[in-house]
């Protein structure tokens, strides 16, 4: 039966020394331990960071999983004790036979656990593993220490031993506890570690937590101060119930899942398993509604500059850095915020998130490293995925564009601009036309007429938008798509809220007199602008068919300060004409010629600008 009490950790010392330099990060090492806990069927995982009296860090990962079997049968048919066997390098058979006769994959223990122990404990630290199954009367233990290992020419781990109790207080009667002491850590602040892990563990294991896994991150300082916090689900796709994102924004818009089966019909080998199951890639894509996000972050964003608002959005993975795909193996996130060469980053995708989920049987296709810290999509696989997702990505681009257009329509027709507000405030200091009571009444009527016209325009846009939403609601109802229906109804509620605010802004805009207002219409005379007498106000009409409109005005509209300066200049010209003609209406032809001359100079200016650009 062979030597069952000691297990060879590595074949030779040179490999052991190189293994310590594999570059495994502390974060990836802890993730590897959590992976093993999940693979053992754990429902609860506790990660504890402790300061040691010697200035080091001790990390403990404890679970309530099935525990490590008492023995395994290796590839040569030799029975090996459980803990040393799974700690050692090698032992990479797809399946091994546990002594009780069951076959079980242990590839998950493989190099990941061995490398974690070797890299984190390094030369001076130690690693201990305690385990107990429900049917075991006591806990079992095995440990790793570099200095002891290399004293043995065979480089074997000590035999596992039965212990009455682990050196740490277990929170369950069964499971596995891994304790690694790091003597020279890069970071010694356990509170910093806790905060860092709380940020990414909820995302890395979001699917497992959504399925019932509970993860806690605890700390204990050398002075004995303790802290424990539960890990919350972080889901950039904004689809998982109880995630921070769904609680904040509601469910995002979910697109039809894309499934790629590897049954030999897509240019790749047939990966069908013995039990008939076909390994697959499942791709999910979602899009957050910008107006929903804006409304949800209204309080945090109030009074903030654009860069400050961008930072708030970035915390929710919204923007250039946060957009894109995550890569998930068996529900565990490996990479995030990547294009993977499937699309080109664009502002229209700032609210898009996707996940590429693949079964572990496809590890080789994704070149997943043993500790899952690295992966790579090959060119052939990338092309296959791109063929399947490009239509959905194009649809997301169009859908976001439609949202942007609707929001732009709201902004364009929402009412008072900064220039109008300034004109309103300056009104007492400007010359006012002397009107009779009948003329004042007529001016009020014209203001009401302007309000009705703007309201009619708004209503037309709203009817078209709501009509599309109603059609989508009916479609979701027919399909029985309950989740999709909720998302569409959310869009409907937001649209109705926007409409209400839009009408309120129009009412406010025309509630009182403003010396001059800017409008956008088509003019037949070729002038850049025109002026109409609206009783006690001047209506300044910008000609949308003039080269000045797209060549200058449209360019500065995104810059509020430049737009305000330009509109105030046009208002000054228009209001001067309006007031002068109130007193001397016979000079209308003179002012018309003046407008033509001003327009000529403005258009020459546009031509010069275009020459510089070209």
Taking only the tens place, the pLDDT of each residue in 484-538 is 677 677 767 777 777 777 788 888 888 889 999 999 999 988 899 999 999 999 9
Q: What is the mean pLDDT of the segment spanning 61-90?
A: 84
Q: What's the confidence (pLDDT) of residue 98?
A: 37
Q: What is the mean pLDDT of the segment spanning 361-384?
A: 79
- Domain ranges for the chain: 7-232, 245-398, 431-513, 515-614
Flag whether pLDDT at 75 surpasses 90. Answer: no
Q: Work out the mean pLDDT of the chain and round it to a whole number.
A: 86
Pairwise CA distance, residues 515 & 578, whole Å: 10
Cβ-contact 138, 129 below 8 angstroms: no
Flag whether pLDDT at 97 surpasses 60. Answer: no
Six token digits for residue 552: 């200058």
Q: What's the confidence (pLDDT) of residue 85?
A: 86
SS3 per-residue string spanning 513-534: CCCEEEEEECCCCCCCEEEEEC
Say which DSSP state 550 is in.
Answer: I
Q: What's the confidence (pLDDT) of residue 372?
A: 54
Q: How confident is the model at residue 104 (pLDDT cuts 50, 70, 90)?
A: very low
- Helix 482-509 / helix 379-413 crossing angle, nearest 10 deg: 30
Q: How confident is the model at residue 364 (pLDDT cuts 50, 70, 90)?
A: confident
Q: What's the confidence (pLDDT) of residue 2?
A: 43
Pairwise CA distance, residues 38 & 110, whole Å: 15
To which residue do tokens 């894309």 refer?
A: 258
Burial 117-137 (b: 16+ CB within 10 A, else e): bbbbbeeebbbbbbbbbeeee
Q: What is the mean pLDDT of the segment spanning 44-73?
A: 92
* Whole-number Cα distances in Å, 431 to 515, 536, 576: 9, 11, 9
Flag whether pLDDT at 294 surpasses 90. Answer: no
Instruction: Determine which helix (DSSP H) or strand (DSSP E) holds 175, and give its type and residue range.
Output: strand 175-182
Helices (H) and strands (E) in the chain, counts: 19, 23
Q: What's the confidence (pLDDT) of residue 487?
A: 66
* Lateral strand order in the sheet of 126-132: 161-163, 139-145, 126-132, 175-182, 57-63, 44-51, 214-220, 226-230
Flag whether pLDDT at 544 surpasses 80. Answer: yes
Q: How confident is the model at residue 23 (pLDDT cuts 50, 70, 90)?
A: low
Candidate ranges 339-353, 357-371, 449-463; pick with highest mean pLDDT: 339-353
Six token digits for residue 140: 């079992």
Q: What's the confidence (pLDDT) of residue 363?
A: 87
Q: What's the confidence (pLDDT) of residue 473?
A: 81
Q: How confident is the model at residue 155 (pLDDT cuts 50, 70, 90)?
A: confident
Q: Strand, coil or helix: what is 10?
A: coil
To which residue do tokens 């390098």 refer?
A: 89
Six token digits for residue 532: 């109409």
Flag whether pLDDT at 1 surpasses 50. Answer: no
Six token digits for residue 11: 């074949």
Pairwise CA distance, residues 305 & 309, whole Å: 6
Q: What's the confidence (pLDDT) of residue 126?
A: 93
Cβ-contact 181, 126 below 8 angstroms: yes
Domain 7-232 falls under CATH 3.30.565.10: yes
Say which DSSP state 431 is in.
Answer: -
Cβ-contact 88, 114 below 8 angstroms: yes
């Amino acid at each position: 039966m062979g030597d069952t009490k000691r297990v060879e950790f590595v074949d030779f010392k040179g490999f052991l020394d190189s293994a310590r330099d594999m570059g495994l990060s502390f974060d990836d090492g802890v993730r590897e331990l959590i992976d093993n806990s999940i693979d053992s069927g754990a429902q609860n995982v506790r990660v504890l960071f402790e300061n040691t009296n010697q200035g080091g860090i001790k990390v403990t990962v404890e679970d309530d999983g099935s525990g490590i079997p008492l023995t395994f049968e290796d590839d040569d048919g030799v029975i090996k004790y459980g803990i040393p066997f799974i700690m050692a390098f090698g032992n990479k058979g797809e399946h091994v036979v546990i002594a009780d006769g069951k076959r079980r994959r242990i590839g998950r223990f493989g190099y990941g656990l061995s490398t974690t122990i070797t890299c984190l404990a390094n030369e001076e630290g130690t690693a201990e593993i305690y385990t107990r199954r429900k049917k075991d009367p006591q806990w079992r233990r095995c440990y790793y220490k570099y200095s002891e290992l290399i004293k043995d020419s065979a480089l074997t781990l000590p035999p596992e031993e039965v212990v009455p109790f682990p050196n740490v207080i277990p929170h369950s009667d069964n499971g596995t506890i891994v304790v690694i002491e790091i003597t020279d850590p890069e970071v010694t602040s356990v509170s910093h570690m806790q905060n860092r892990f709380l940020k990414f563990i909820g995302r890395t294991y979001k699917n497992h937590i959504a399925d019932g896994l509970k993860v806690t991150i605890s700390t204990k300082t050398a002075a004995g101060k303790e802290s424990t916090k539960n890990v919350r689900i972080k889901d950039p796709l904004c689809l998982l119930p109880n995630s921070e994102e769904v609680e904040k924004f509601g469910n995002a818009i979910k697109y039809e899942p894309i499934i790629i089966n590897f049954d030999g019909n897509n240019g790749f080998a047939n990966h069908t398993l013995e039990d008939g199951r076909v390994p697959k890639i499942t791709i999910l894509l979602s899009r957050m509604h910008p107006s929903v996000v804006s409304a949800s972050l209204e309080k945090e964003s109030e009074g903030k500059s654009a860069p400050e608002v961008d930072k708030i959005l970035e915390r929710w993975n919204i923007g250039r850095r946060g957009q894109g795909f995550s890569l998930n193996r068996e529900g565990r996130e490996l990479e995030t915020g990547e294009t993977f060469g499937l699309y080109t980053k664009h502002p229209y995708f700032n609210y898009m998130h996707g996940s590429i989920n693949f079964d572990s049987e496809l590890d080789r296709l994704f070149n997943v490293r043993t500790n899952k810290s690295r992966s790579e999509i090959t060119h052939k696989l990338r092309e296959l995925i791109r063929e399947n997702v490009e239509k959905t990505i194009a649809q997301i681009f169009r859908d976001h564009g439609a949202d942007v257009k609707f929001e732009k329509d709201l902004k364009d027709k929402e009412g008072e601009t900064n220039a109008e507000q300034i004109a309103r405030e300056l009104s007492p200091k400007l010359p006012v036309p002397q009107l009779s009571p009948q003329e004042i009444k007529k001016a009020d009527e014209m203001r009401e007429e302007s309000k009705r016209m703007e309201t009619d325009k708004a209503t037309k846009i709203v009817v078209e938008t709501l009509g599309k939403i109603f059609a989508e609601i009916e479609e979701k109802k027919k399909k029985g798509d309950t989740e999709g229906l909720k998302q569409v109804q959310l869009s409907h509620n937001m649209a109705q809220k926007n409409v209400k605010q839009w009408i309120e802004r129009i009412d406010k805009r025309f509630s009182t007199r403003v010396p001059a207002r800017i409008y956008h219409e088509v003019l037949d005379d070729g002038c850049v602008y025109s002026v109409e007498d609206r009783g006690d106000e001047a209506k300044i009409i910008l000609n949308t068919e003039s080269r000045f409109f797209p060549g200058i005005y449209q360019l500065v509209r995104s810059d509020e300060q430049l737009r305000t300066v330009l509109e105030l200049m046009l208002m000054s010209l228009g209001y001067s004409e309006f007031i002068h003609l109130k007193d001397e209406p016979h000079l209308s032809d003179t002012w018309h010629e003046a407008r033509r001359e001003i327009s000529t100079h403005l258009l020459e200016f546009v031509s010069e600008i275009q020459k510089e650009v070209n």
